[in-house]
Amino acid sequence: MQPSAAQLQDAPPVTMTDLAWEDYRGVRLPRAADDGPRDTRDGLALGYSRTPRGALLAAIHISLRANARWGTEVFEPTINDQIVGPGTDLLLSSARTAAQASKSAEDARGYVVIEGFRWLGYTPETASLDLVSAGPGDSDTTARAATRLQVQWREGDWRVVAPLAGGWGGSAYPVDSLDGFTLFPARGR
């Protein structure tokens, strides 16, 4: 079902003033009491409001947890329960392969900062955005990339649409300037 032009918002308002930042294995992630995630037991992140900020927070938390780095106890239920679309099986297969090739996830730490985002479109049923993250680059530099993410409202919560290629690497592009992006206060620091 295609949203009507009246429903689609290019840049819906998102309040940043009451975000709390919590550590998830070295990565600072935003959360809001009213928009989610409401349940973070067992390393998972569930329960988002059907608002632009709920969609944004779901995109951040779910896509991060779908990574093999965190181990099968996190990425498998995340992908199985919170990822939708034709690329889901390939994403799960890729994560399992990566997990088998890596070290134990018990001590896995992330070295990335979630810095900001840019809306591509929003309706109460679907949203698309570019999420900017920064991490260590070559020769003590900071490398920034934006990853295109889509979410859909299904079964009472936001779900992330799986990338068709089996990972978000093909949906990412380098970012030289943060102009045009909405920056998070303190950028997760």
The pTM score is 0.91
Query: Three-state SS string across the chain, please?
Result: CCCCCCCCECCCCCCCCCCEEEEECCEEEEEECCCECCECHHHCCECCCCCHHHHHHHHHHHHHHCCHHHCHHHHHHHHHHHEECCCHHHHHHHHHHHHHHCCCCCCCCCCCEEEEEEEEEECCCEEEEEEEEEEECHHHCEEEEEEEEEEEEECCEEEEECCCCCCHHHHEEECCCCCCCEECHHHHC
Tens-digit pLDDT string for the chain (189 aa): 455 545 556 778 888 888 999 999 989 999 999 999 999 998 899 999 999 999 999 999 999 999 999 999 999 999 999 999 999 999 999 999 998 887 655 556 678 899 999 999 999 999 999 999 998 888 888 899 999 999 999 999 999 999 998 888 888 999 999 999 999 987 545
Q: Where exactly are the structural domains of the chain?
A: 20-188
For domain 20-188, say whether CATH 1.10.10 is its number. Answer: no
